[in-house]
Amino acid sequence: MQSLLADKYDFDTRRKVTKTAEGWRPEIWAQFAELGLLAAPFSEELGGLGGGPIENMIVMEEFGRHLVVEPYVETVVIAGGFLREGGTAAQQEALIPGIVGGETVWAFAYAEPQGRYNLADLTTTAKKDGSGYTINGYKAVVLGAPWAQKLIVTVRTSGGQRDRDGVSVFIVDKSAAGVSTRDYPTVDGRRASEITFENVKVGADALIGAEGKGLPLVEKITDEAIAALSAEAIGCMKELNTATVEYCKTRKQFGVPIGKFQVLQHRMVDMFMAHEQSVSMTYMVNLKLGESDVERTKAAAGAKVQIGKAGRFVGQQAVQLHGGMGMTDELNVGHYFKRLTMIDTQFGNVDHQLKRYSEAA
Amino acid sequence: MDMRFSPEELAFRDEVREFIANNYPQELKGGARRSRGEMSKEDILRWHRILYKKGWIVPHWPVEYGGTGWTITQRYIWNEENARAETSPLLPFGLSMVGPVIYTFGNEEQKKRFLPGILSGDDWWCQGYSEPGSGSDLASLRTKAVRDGDHYIVNGGKTWTTLAQFADWMFCLVRTDPNVKAQEGISFLLIDMKTPGITVRPIITMDGAHEVNEVFLEDVKVPAENLIGEENKGWTYAKFLLGNERSGIAGVARSKKAIERLKNIANAELIDGAPLMKTDEFSRKVAELEIDLSALEVTELRTLAAESKGRGPGPEASILKIKGTEIQQRITELAVEAVGNYAMVQAPRMEATGNEFVPGPDYSTGTAQDYFNMRKTSIYGGSNEIQHNIIAKMVLGL
């Protein structure tokens, strides 16, 4: 993986790719599949390599270092996670090979404009319709959706708008009648869609898990996504810290390398500690994903708070210490900073996760 | 200090408010929120030209050069009203930077030649200070000017030059004596951007805007009469200019308006069905920001009061720069937090065709890009680290 990324995922190539109309490289995705990366966290019975969170973590840290835009989290961690944890044997057999082989790309349509980070705040509905369901509603900022063929969609099948009960999870083909998408770029060089569902018919076999009982599964899988994003974030921070220290050793002002100034030394020490603490929380959350809901929630919320705060600090200071150069599109520093900013937003920012942590404790 | 307005001052405020309401171009509404990197040259200049016609383009200049003769309170009201109406900020390069240098240190000929174009907006100025090797250590600059008869021949390069792509003129720090202490061999030259040998290359910043440039100077022939003041005394004029830049940078009135907008966003954004602004954690962050800004507002008024007693902007102006930019950055940071998922959307900027699909509420558009863009404020105008050094050395005597 490291040599593939070193060869094919240098910063200039990545920068050019994110500016093309497609915004990603299907051929790189195919190479990830060939390398077995897309199979890593699945059991051998399902055609995987028998890994788990630790394998995800290793992959994601490298992806963070290279600012990989391809939808590993959406496809392997999230869609793969839903199928692994909640899918029937038939669903697993039908769909996991497509993930492992790199043929199917997935996106996770969960957020709604009014819902902010509350996974249960849903106005998109699925109503029983003969043997299947009819889905109506709207999903916001669905990352990676322009590249996807299939969607995991959270809906309300019963209960009030924010009830914990009554949440269900469906598999929907993006090409199904009634699904319409509008695509746009995101600030970290990725792509997302707004998705409208208008009388979209799905069969009973599109339901993942029990009807109306989907929220615990959604929470578990988003925590797995948070664990993966934490690993990505530590990859970003590591690169920023290395680049900043290197720059401060070579950039001379007032006749000396600016790294000789104590105020900047202490700043870089703080950046170093922010990264180390984030590494610790990333290990912790990835090791605790299998524990009780309360323990897992605390670990994931805690990790997200840590990487949110550390990512902001390291990102801002890396830009600051690079001076004007840090502001440019040409240098990778700003791109890591932008990605870290988006990671804080994804699945709930620091405030949201602090609240979640304190409510779980 | 009395912050209450007298009846005369209230009448002045009404006059100013009415003038802005009647004369600020409708099509530029919200101009304060648009990045200059995405506006046309004429759009950036329109409000300038209207104010020039009215005679209100340089309230901070002496009356003899075009100033309005307003009191400090009137100038304060003027800034407040412009912020309130969210008018496009005027470009500082001519009006606040080189203009005061020219009327303070220039000769009569130079005043006659350059001040009218600065006032009318016919001459667009850019700032030739930073170089690739000289940022915080500005005095180490290497762009050199060699006297050759009645000209200087300039060679070197400048960077981070804001809106140089539109500029007619550049005020430029050049090295005229390499054999003395760095600060003592610098001169202040005015360079016509149409002179052969000048190349402007865009620098795209991480928010996707083209606001800054590199400027290359190769055997650029500059008439000696474009030298301001004395040769090798340029550092004095440069510091005078930076002092003005620092005090202008506080941006109190604009930040007030920006906090108001932040509150509107936080009132519109819902968290479990209730406004985000009603949550303790967010409202306290906004309260903290407002308190910081009130303190800065009074600190700025204290500085202005000292200035009106004839003491120029001293090293204290560094406080305004540090605190002002920290507040501006914090506002955009909280806006990103407030907007939530839609902060991830990339608003079309320089490549915009006008047909792009931009999802989310209007107020969310470009929030993250503004946040990224504002990181520049603690870097430019003398980085905030340098401002700390100035206070440590000049104020605390350390």
pLDDT in tens, B220-268: 999 999 999 999 999 999 988 877 766 567 889 899 999 999 999 999 9
Contact A354 B281 (CB under 8 A): yes
How many domains in chain B? Answer: 3
B184 part of a folded domain:
yes
| Active-site annotation holds for B86 | no
Calculate helix-pair angle for B252-268, B317-339, nearest 10 degrees.
10
Report, as an integer, the average pLDDT of B364-385: 94
Q: State how far the alpha carbon of A307 is from the alpha carbons of A241, A342, B113, B305, in Å.
A: 14, 11, 57, 45
Residues of A in contact with B203 (CB under 8 A): 328, 330
Report the chain A residue with the minimal C-alpha distance to residue B273.
Answer: A114
Query: Beta strands of chain B (E only): which ranges?
Result: 125-128, 144-148, 151-158, 169-175, 186-192, 198-204, 210-223, 227-228, 270-271, 274-275
> Do B225 and B303 reside in the same domain of the chain?
no
Element (H, E) at B367: helix B367-374
Domain's final residue, options A89, A104, A119: A104
Residue B169 in contact with residue B163, Cβ under 8 Å?
A: no
A90-125 exposure pattern, b = at least 16 Cβ within 10 A, e = fewer:
ebbeebbbbbbebebbbbbbbbbbbbbbbbbbbebb
Residues of A in contact with B340 (CB under 8 A): 116-117, 345, 349
A226 reaches B (C-beta below 8 A): no
Strand partners of residue B222: B152
Residue A223 has pLDDT above 90, yes or no: yes
Residue B60 has pLDDT above 70, yes or no: yes
Rounded to a whole number of angstroms, the distance from the CA of B338 to the nearest CA of chain A is 10
> How much is the CA Rg of chain A, to the nearest whole Å?
21
Contact A184 B137 (CB under 8 A): no
From the list A113, A161, A185, the residue facing B346 with the nearest CB is: A185
| SS3 at position B193 | coil
Q: What is the pLDDT of residue A174?
A: 98
Residues of B in contact with A346 (CB under 8 A): 344
Q: Six-digit token pair at B156? A: 């070197």
Report the chain A residue with the minimal C-alpha distance to residue B370.
Answer: A187
Contact A184 B345 (CB under 8 A): yes
Q: What is the pLDDT of residue A89?
A: 96
Q: State how far the alpha carbon of A111 is from the alpha carbons of A346, A347, B225, B366, in Å.
A: 10, 9, 64, 20
Residue B269 in contact with residue B276, Cβ under 8 Å?
A: yes
Lowest mean pLDDT, pick from A35-39, A163-167, B145-149, B299-303: B299-303
Residues of B in contact with A312 (CB under 8 A): 333
Residue B157 has pLDDT above 80, yes or no: yes
> Do A262 and A356 reside in the same domain of the chain?
yes
B224 part of a folded domain:
yes
From the list A312, A320, A338, the residue facing B378 with the nearest CB is: A320
Residue A233 in contact with residue A313, Cβ under 8 Å?
A: no
Report the chain B residue with the minimal C-alpha distance to residue A251.
Answer: B133
Sequence-distant (6+) residues with CB within 8 A of A24 are A17, A69, A70, A71, A147, A190, A191
Distance of CA B352 to the CA centre of its chain: 25
Point out the catalytic residue in the list B80, B245, B297, B337.
B245
Strand partners of residue A106: A150
B240 part of a folded domain:
no
Structural domain including B65 reads: 7-90
> Do A285 and A344 reside in the same domain of the chain?
yes
Domain's final residue, options A104, A121, A148: A104
Torsion of CA B302, B306, B308, B311, to 10 degrees: -150
Q: Which of A186, A187, A355 to mutate to test the interface with B (most CBs of B within 10 A)?
A: A187
Percent of chain A at pLDDT > 70 equals 100
> Do A242 and A134 reside in the same domain of the chain?
no
* CA distance linking residue A88 with residue B217, whole number of Å: 69
From the list A111, A328, A351, the residue facing B341 with the nearest CB is: A111
Angle at A315 between CA B375 and CA B316, to 5 degrees: 40
Strand partners of residue B174: B187
B104 part of a folded domain:
no
Contact A334 B344 (CB under 8 A): no
The pLDDT mean for chain A works out to 97
Residues of B in contact with A349 (CB under 8 A): 337, 340
Q: Which of B138, B140, B141, B206 to mutate to test the interface with A (most CBs of A within 10 A)?
A: B206
A328 reaches B (C-beta below 8 A): yes
> Helix and strand tally (H, E) in chain A?
12, 10
Contact A334 B206 (CB under 8 A): yes
From the list A140, A162, A253, the residue facing B137 with the nearest CB is: A253
Report the chain B residue with the minimal C-alpha distance to residue A114.
Answer: B270
Domain harbouring B378, CATH code: 1.20.140.10
The pLDDT mean for chain B works out to 92
Report, as an integer, the average pLDDT of B297-323: 81
Tokens 């999230």, located at residue: A78
Strand partners of residue B143: none
Report pLDDT digits (tens) over A258-296. Answer: 999 999 999 999 999 999 999 999 999 999 999 999 999
Domain harbouring A17, CATH code: 1.10.540.10
> Do A167 and A246 reside in the same domain of the chain?
no
Q: What is the pLDDT of residue B300?
A: 87
Question: How many Cβ atoms from other residues are within 10 Å of residue B2's Cβ?
Answer: 6
> Do B226 and B257 reside in the same domain of the chain?
no
Q: State how far the alpha carbon of B257 is from the alpha carbons of A20, B80, B87, B196, in Å.
A: 38, 9, 11, 44
- How do strand A167-173 and strand A207-208 relate by DSSP bridges? antiparallel
Lowest mean pLDDT, pick from A170-174, A301-305, B73-77, B364-368: B73-77
Report the chain B residue with the minimal C-alpha distance to residue A354.
Answer: B281
Report the chain B residue with the minimal C-alpha distance to residue A308.
Answer: B337
Q: Give the residue from B205, B201, B204 showing the smallest Cα distance to B214.
A: B201
Residues of A in contact with B378 (CB under 8 A): 320
B81 part of a folded domain:
yes
* CA distance linking residue B102 with residue B96, whole number of Å: 11
> Do B179 and B288 reside in the same domain of the chain?
no
Q: Chain B neighbours among A 168-197 (CB < 8 Å)? A: 182-188, 192, 194
Contact A334 B205 (CB under 8 A): yes
Contact A341 B130 (CB under 8 A): no
Distance of CA A206 to the CA centre of its chain: 23
> Do B256 and B388 reside in the same domain of the chain?
yes
From the list B203, B272, B276, the residue facing A162 with the nearest CB is: B272
> How much is the CA Rg of chain B, to the nearest whole Å?
22
Confidence of residue A331 (pLDDT cuts 50, 70, 90): very high
Residues of A in contact with B372 (CB under 8 A): 187, 334, 337-338, 341
Sequence-distant (6+) residues with CB within 8 A of B12 are B74, B77
Residue A135 in contact with residue A170, Cβ under 8 Å?
A: yes
Domain harbouring A155, CATH code: 2.40.110.10
Contact B359 A316 (CB under 8 A): no
Q: Amino acid letter at B274? A: A
Q: Amino acid letter at B22? A: N
Confidence of residue B73 (pLDDT cuts 50, 70, 90): confident
Alpha-helical regions (H) of B40-130: 41-54, 72-84, 92, 99-105, 108-120
Lowest mean pLDDT, pick from A251-255, B263-267, B369-373, B379-383: B379-383
Residue B121 in contact with residue B49, Cβ under 8 Å?
A: yes
Domain harbouring B221, CATH code: 2.40.110.10
B96 part of a folded domain:
no
Q: What is the pLDDT of residue B1?
A: 45
Q: Give the residue from A157, A137, A153 showing the smallest Cα distance to A145.
A: A153
Q: Give the residue from A192, A188, A352 showing the smallest Cα distance to B371.
A: A188
User: B75: exposed, middle or buried (C-beta count within 10 Å: 0-12, 13-18, 19+)?
Assistant: middle
Q: Six-digit token pair at B51? A: 């104010």
Residue B32 has pLDDT above 70, yes or no: no
B78 part of a folded domain:
yes
Structural domain including A129 reads: 107-213
Domain harbouring A260, CATH code: 1.20.140.10
Q: Amino acid letter at B235? A: W
Rounded to a whole number of angstroms, the distance from the CA of B340 to the nearest CA of chain A is 6
* CA distance linking residue B261 with residue A206, whole number of Å: 44
Contact B137 A183 (CB under 8 A): no
From the list A253, A316, A351, the residue facing B282 with the nearest CB is: A351
Q: Give the residue from B372, B136, B206, B382 showing the smallest Cα distance to A316.
A: B372
Residues of B in contact with A319 (CB under 8 A): 375, 379
For residue A193, report the phi and psi dihedrals to the nearest 5 degrees.
-135, 150
Sequence-distant (6+) residues with CB within 8 A of B113 are none
> Do A51 and A159 reside in the same domain of the chain?
no
| SS3 at position B210 | strand
Domain's final residue, options A104, A120, A139: A104
> Do A322 and A302 reside in the same domain of the chain?
yes
Torsion of CA A109, A113, A116, A122, to 10 degrees: -60
Sequence-distant (6+) residues with CB within 8 A of A256 are none
B355 part of a folded domain:
yes
Rounded to a whole number of angstroms, the distance from the CA of A172 to the nearest CA of chain B is 22
